[in-house]
Every structure is written in C-alpha cells, then in structure tokens.
A = this chain, B = another copy of it.
Amino acid sequence: MNSNTIEDMAEVRQTRTATVMAAIRGRLAARTLAPGDRLPSIRRFAALMGVSPATVVEAYDRLVAEGLIRARQGSGFYVTGGGLPPLSLAQAETARERAVDPFWVSRQSLDADPAALKPGCGWLPADWMPGDALRRGFRALARSSDAVLADYGGTLGSPVLRRLLLGRFAEEGLSTGPEQLLLTGSGTQALDLICRFLLRPGDTVLVDDPCYFNFQALLRAHQLRVLGVPYTPTGPDVAAFEALAARERPRLYITNSGLHNPTGASLTPQTAYRVLSAAAACAMTIVEDEIFADFEPEPSARLAVLDGLDRVIRIGSFSKTLSASVRCGYIAARADWIEGLVDLQVATSFGGQSPVAAELVAGILAGGNYRKHMEELRRRLAQARRDVAARLAPLGIRPWLMPRGGFYLWCHLPDGIDSAELARFALSREVVLAPGNVFSISQGAAGFMRFNVAQSRDPRLIEVLREAMAGLHAGSVAAAGPG
C-alpha cells in the first residue's frame, strides 16, 4: 500500500472502491439496509470506512449501475429493492476466517472434528448423558404401536409428555392447564415461533448482556432491534431494566432465570419482583428459558411462577439433560397465545413435534432413573467446576462468580488479553473456545471467556491457553494465529 506509481494508486483506489461496495452489499444482505432506506451520506461513510469521499461516490455510482441503489435529486442514495441478495446472517468466507460473532461458536462447536477440544461448546459430552436410559427408550419405541411409529400426532404434541410437564410445573407452584402447553421441535424453535407470533421486524427486544449467543443470532434473523441489560450476580440490573423499559417500550425480554447462560448467576426473588413490575408497567412480554432448570440444586426464583403465565412465557427443552439428538422443546403460555402458536407451527413445520421423540423423553422423565441421573450430574459438575477453576487460576483466569449449578464458568481473563484473539489462536490448535463478546450485545466482554467445565478436563487445554496467552502478551499472535 506504500506504492506511489500511478498504476499502483489506481489499483489501490479500485480495491478501496470494491471494499466500500462490499460493505454496502453486506448491509443489504444482512438487511440492515432495506428497500427504501437511505444510504449513509457520502461524507459520513467515507469517514467510517477511512476512504476519500471520491471513493464512496465511485462505489455508489457502480451500485446504481447494478440497480441495487438509486440517487434521488438532492436527497442522497436509496435502496431500490431490485436484485437484492438473499438474507445473509454472517458475511463469511470460510468457516475459519469468518468473524468471531454469535455464529462462530455455534458452527465451530457443531462441526468440530471429533478430536478437537470444545470447552466453548454449550452441551455435555455424550458419555455424561444417560446412555442406558436412551437405549432402553429406543428398545421400548421398537415395541410401540404403528400410530406412534408412523403418524404425525396431534397439533399440541404428545399428551403423555405434556401431562408429565404439567405435573412438574405444579410441583413448583405453577398451576397450568393442558391448553397452555405446546410441544415444539426444540427449545430454539419454541423461541423462534414466539418471535414470529409476537414481533415484527424493527420491534425492540431486551436481552441480558451477556446472554446466550444464539438469542442474538435468532433475533437478528427476525430483524429486530436488540438492546442489552447489564447482568448482575442477582439477575438483570434492575435500575437499567426499569429505565430501558420506560424509555424504549420493548415488546419482549428474553432471559434464563435459573443458572443464567453464560454467567451461571440466578435471579433473586427481589429482582424477579421488580423486573416483572417494570414489564407490567409497559405491557412487555417476557420469555423465560428453562433449559438449565434441572441443573439447579433447588429451584431459584422464577418470573413465570410469580406471574402465573400471564405475561411470562416459559420455554424449555431436554437437550442439556437427556439428548440433543432427540429433539424436543415446549412452550407454556396463555391459552389464547397457544392457539395462535399452534396455527403458526402447523404452517411452518406441519405437525411440529416428533411423536417418537416426545414418547422417548416422556419414558425417561417418568422413570425413576431420571432423578438419579440428574443427581449424579449435579455431583459431577460441582466437582468439575472446582477442578477447572483450580486449573485456570494459575493462568490468572478467574470465575466472575462461582455458580451454584450447571456447567459454565464465566471467567475474567488477565488484563490485556482479548478473548476473540485467544479463541482464534486456540482454533488453530483444534480447541474451540467461547470468547466473551459473542455473548455481549454491547461488545463489552472482550476480557471474558465462557468455559464448559465438563468439556475442559483435557490437560491440552491448559497448555494451549498458556501458549496463546504468552503469544498475546508478546504481541506475536498475529503471526502465530490463523489470520
């Protein structure tokens, strides 16, 4: 880029023009610029991209020639809606080079080589899951009726599993009717259906900062405006929540109350009360995701229980406790909403829940072994949390708090270490990490890393972390890392 011949200057100009065009195309593909929207002004975009206004003018002119945008006399450039690229949620080149964004951890974890270490992933190792119970469950399915094996099943999902869940809710003090419970393909699909049902593009949604990274990916797919509430050891920061609720009138707040992902904190009754009151004051709906509920030693405060499923919707699944391969989720909500959600599920996945999956889950939940399996898991995880924390401590990596359950430790890194750079380096050594900012809407968690303690037992992890941190301290990671 230091060339000073005329040809080289022209080439640099060409490259910069292409970069500006790619940036606009990226926004069109990601739908942050939609048909009819005004493009950033020449001056502002030039400043943002660090190029001259002439470069932006040239880029916009070419996009006009391509029909993607058009100029309006004296008022700037606008998106035409012609030839728009398909929706793209991540502007990726190859899997490894893509940005460290919410998709990064998902795809690296799901598609990792079996030999890779995955301390960044969001589930337990397969050999921690109840293999014997699953095997008995499949043998039992082999003996079930033709209808269970081959039919779609009813629109609300298996009555057996729904009855079991309603019984469990009642034990918590949440009394719910069968018309308030719908089975879905997975916990993520439950949230997806709710977003489709209650929200429209541009609506405002609150999430915790930090929060489960796929909430952000999902909300981005719905083209929503997402705001973050700082998360504290007792739940969301109440003053911030109240201020955002009053000022921004969000339609929805999505949270995990028990064993919050990624921090492992749990909501206190006082915070629950104030959050629910603030939501009621501005007619906000709350989705409470119960995916980690069974990892708690005893239940903590729940918004759904306090509210009685009026403005709170409960969702959950069995992917963390039984199997992520047998997919099954649920939604508990007001009966009139369930009725609308059924139509939406019929339209978008016809029938929704897999009856054999629901049958299998119901069989395991009903058996006495499920309680024993969870007790054993909680015991192993308590030990693993202590062990992993002890092994990370000498590296200066320390938990933000020690969770009362679950498999996550949300850790501070030593000063000056950027978790995204650390994760890129680790990936070059076949170690998938979950860097802080993929969880943070404000991008304020660069100094944090989430560790899954059940996936962090291999000594190689500590070696790779030590090597990476030495490199980052020495400023040499740019050379050592994959780019």
- Which A residues are closer than 8 A to B by beta carbons? 31, 34-35, 83-84, 86-90, 92, 103, 106-107, 110-111, 114, 123-124, 126-127, 129, 131, 134-136, 138-139, 141-143, 145-155, 185-189, 192, 196-198, 200-201, 214, 217-218, 220-221, 283, 319, 322-327, 337, 339-340, 342-344, 346-351, 354-357
Contacts and interface: CB of A to CB of B under 8 A. Distances in A.
Nearest to A143: B135
14 contacts: A86-B340, A110-B155, A110-B346, A110-B351, A111-B154, A131-B149, A134-B149, A136-B142, A138-B139, A138-B141, A138-B149, A186-B350, A192-B348, A214-B346
Given A134-B150, A340-B88, A107 B323 contact: no
A226 to B, nearest CB: 13
Given A355-B325, A356-B325, A146 B123 contact: no
- 4 tightest CB-CB pairs across the interface, nearest first? A129-B150, A126-B146, A138-B142, A217-B347
Contact of A142 (B139, B326, B350): B139
Contacts of A141: 138
A145 to B, nearest CB: 7
A350 B123 CA distance: 12
Given A88-B340, A354-B357, A152 B325 contact: yes
A188 B350 contact: yes
Contact of A126 (B83, B135, B150): B150
Contacts of A283: 83
B126 A145 contact: yes
Contacts of A198: 86-87
B214 A347 contact: yes
A135 B153 contact: no
B142 A346 contact: no
Given A126-B149, A200-B34, A346-B107, A326 B339 contact: no
Contacts of A201: 201
A18 B347 CA distance: 29
Given A106-B346, A107-B155, A343-B90, A325 B217 contact: no
B324 A151 contact: yes
Nearest to A319: B152
Given A86-B340, A87-B196, A103-B343, A127 B146 contact: yes
Number of identical monomers bound together in the oligomeric complex: 2
A352 to B, nearest CB: 9
A63 B185 CA distance: 38
Contacts of A351: 110, 186, 324, 327
Contact of A347 (B34, B83, B89, B155): B89
Contact of A343 (B89, B111, B114, B155): B89
Nearest to A98: B343
A271 to B, nearest CB: 27
A6 B308 CA distance: 45
Given A86-B340, A357-B357, 16 more contacts: A34-B200, A87-B344, A89-B340, A107-B346, A110-B346, A126-B145, A126-B149, A135-B142, A138-B138, A149-B325, A149-B326, A185-B327, A186-B351, A188-B348, A218-B347, A326-B356
Given A218-B347, A354-B354, A325 B148 contact: yes
A221 B344 contact: yes
Contact of A189 (B143, B346, B348): B348
Contacts of A34: 200
A329 B148 CA distance: 19
A367 B148 CA distance: 22
B146 A217 contact: no
Contacts of A217: 343, 346-347
Contacts of A103: 343, 346-347
A84 B197 CA distance: 11
Nearest to A355: B325
Contacts of A143: 135
Given A107-B155, A123-B151, A92 B339 contact: yes
A390 B202 CA distance: 56
Contacts of A114: 147
A349 B186 contact: yes
Contacts of A149: 126, 129, 131, 134-135, 138, 323, 325-326
B129 A87 contact: no
Given A214-B346, A214-B350, A357-B354, A86 B325 contact: no
